Amino acid sequence: MDRAFRAPRLIGEQGETSGWVGVRNGRIVAVEPFDRPLEADEVIELGTDEVLLPGLVDTHVHVNDPGRSEWEGFETATRAAAEGGITTIVDMPLNSLPPTVDAEALEVKRKTAREKVHVDVGFWGGAISGNLDSLRELHDDGVFGFKCFLLHSGVDEFPPLDPAELEKALSVLTGFGAMMIVHAEDSDSIEHAPVAHGEEYGRFLASRPRGAENLAIAQVIELARRYDARVHILHLSSSDALPMIASAKADGVRITVETCPHYLCFTAEEIPDGATPYKCCPPIREAGNRERLWQGLADGTIDCIVSDHSPCTAELKKMDIGDFGVAWGGVSSLQLGLSAVWTQARLRGYALTDVVDWMAHRTADLAGLRQKGAIEVGRDADLCVFAPDDAYVVDAARLRHRNPVSAYDGRALAGVVRGTWLRGERIVGPDIDSPGQRGQLLDRDAVR
């Protein structure tokens, strides 16, 4: 074997255990009990304070490249992902120029990403007003599914679908087995809500009411039921929607749901006025809402946790004036997700196995990445060494993100990534300054 990991603690097929993991040619070829040593060219011995995890899979990342690479870019995004124990990301179709709404734009994005990525990268396609005839070609070219908005996306080049277009798109996608992932906020509800402006977070929160999410999710559920469509709700913020989602799942509707670290970590009550790094859409809500989201994860109504890393420049965050009405919406957190979620999960009695389930197993399942997300024989040797009892204070200026803007700046978090391996090759560690571009571009079913 090329290398073997001797782990007093690892999270594998049977939950947390101890054992050996053997790697050859980038794949896991053996998982053996702790008392059955493996022979390998290199043996990596974990300390008793470390846990061997599968590399995480983050299916909701805005890389913004090409076109807005000053916001992030493939090199910095994938370096930050690796530092956070993430070995696979799936890039969103908007905020890049051009957006990924046809096969030509997908190839432009792939050419931009090649030779830049430190972890593996796949791509979502976009479903917008006017491109329904392009969806099949994008699907055949390997995108993992299609994202749509039901209200203005924040950028004019990625227009939303109106109700009739959403229905048509779901009908089209069902014809070739593709999934629609939906930013579910109802446009009319938000148009009639108070207008967000100024420094007061409460005004911004009122401008994106829970009802807007609830109505949009109800619409998506109804259409998924009608067409037997495969749908996924992005960045769930409103816990009010949980009962209808649970009911739909019980009825056999093919719906999955994600939430994000910022909805599980922060509360509206603690966000200072003018603190625009916390602005995101849908917004961070009240403390009681946060606890109900955690319960939704525990009972399986919410399937997984992803970053929705949506960075921008400091200038676009308008931190100098603190105006929530004009600041760009999005929380920058790609490098921090594992620590952020673990910090809050352990306080509520959840185990590290739960966190891995939400952030690796289920996200890999969502994207159909059968070779990712678990320590099992035959899977890619994407691994992370995590010290769950270590702690640190976030310094946004020291993160690998392109811009030093994060709602987590100054927060104390539990859990430190001490090493990351991609297909058995170390890409994060104390002696690695530049890991090299070892990442690959992924199609829905294969490496490109």
Question: Which residues on neighbouring strands pair with residue 387, listed in sequence order?
Answer: 416
Clarify whether residues 71 and 14 are in a common domain: no
Place of tokens 């922060």: 266
Q: Is residue 321 assigned to a domain?
A: no
How many other C-beta atoms lie within 10 A of the C-beta of residue 243? 11
Clarify whether residues 180 and 35 are in a common domain: no
Contact 413, 391 (CB under 8 A): yes
Clarify whether residues 179 and 39 are in a common domain: no
Give the C-alpha separation, 141 to 105, whole Å. 11
Q: What end-to-end distance do the CA atoms of the chain give, in Å?
A: 26
Give the C-alpha separation, 416 to 271, whole Å. 25
Reported residue count of the chain is: 448
Backbone angles phi, psi at 410, to 5 degrees: 85, -5
The boundaries of the domain holding residue 303 are 56-190+205-315+327-368+395-411
Q: How far is CA 413 from the centre of its chain?
A: 19
- As averages over each run of 10 residues, the pLDDT of the chain (448 residues) reads 97 95 98 93 97 99 98 98 98 98 98 96 98 97 98 97 98 97 98 94 98 99 98 99 99 99 99 98 99 99 99 97 97 98 99 99 98 98 99 97 97 98 95 80 80
- With CA atoms as reference, report the closest residue to 204 among 140, 281, 120, 145: 281
- pLDDT at residue 148, as a whole number: 99
- pLDDT at residue 447, as a whole number: 62
Q: Is residue 443 assigned to a domain?
A: no
Number of domains in the chain: 2
Q: Is residue 418 assigned to a domain?
A: no
What is this structure's pTM? 0.97
Q: What is the bridge-based pairing of β-strands 412-422 and 383-393?
A: antiparallel
- Assign residue 61 the CATH number of its domain: 3.20.20.140
- pLDDT at residue 55, as a whole number: 99
Q: Which H/E stretch holds residue 6? A: strand 3-12
How many other C-beta atoms lie within 10 A of the C-beta of residue 308? 27
